[in-house]
Amino acid sequence: MKTVLWQVSIAFAIALAGGALGSVLARNHKQLCALISLGAGTLLGVAVFAIAPECLEAMRWWQFVLAAGTGYGLFALVTKYVFHVCPACAASHFDEATTHRFADIATAMMVALGIHCTVDGLALAAGHGEHAGPGRSMDAAMVVAICVHKVPEGLALGALLLGAGFARRRMLGFVAAVESTTLVGGVLGWMVLRNVAEFWLAAAVAHAGGGFLFLAAHAVLGEIVKHEKFTVLLSFTVGFCAVGALILFFHLRD
């Protein structure tokens, strides 16, 4: 429990720091795109190099696809019918018109981001539970990927709030309130998943992995279509390869 709380607290603090940085630094969209793509690459790297191999040891391939599909489908439905599930992944959509009508979309955004951050916390708890034994590569990679993703997430959310006319103090309070659902997800994940069978633990991890796939695809495709391809693809590749190298390192240590 202490480890899970520590991990989700770090993720929460990093997102809050991202929001704080957004309040004091000039927000260059090209730099934000690079951070977004780096975070997306790390999430996809965890899904490909860690989640899929580990889950397929406890599940059949079609079970894994079904579980991952529920995670992908959840985020797709929330994005389509509620609001963009991640402000970083959908940064291109937050134009001047969007920020000026923020009051009309605030509730929907809080619901969408709350779901997203809760799944982040659940993924950290499930990833830790999946590796209660000696192997910790997925646990470490999950923490790194989510924390890297939280930086542009906090920056994008903070930028949106500032663009909507929020004072810096109020903006930070809003970022803290939304990102605190990461802590809720971690605690709920630990309480629900600590005594479940290996299959259901793997299913929970696969579900989170499906959400990671959606975030990675949504972030990169959205930014490639509207912005510079080289920056996006380079940053995405660096994040993807870095997670692969991290997982290889931990496997060699084990």
Give the SS3 label for residue 15: helix
Q: What is the pTM of this model?
A: 0.83
The torsion angles phi and psi of 237, rounded to 5 degrees, stand at -65, -40
Over residues 179-237, the pLDDT tens digits come to: 899 988 888 888 887 777 888 888 988 999 999 999 998 888 876 766 668 888 898 99
134: pLDDT confidence band, cut at 50, 70 and 90? very low
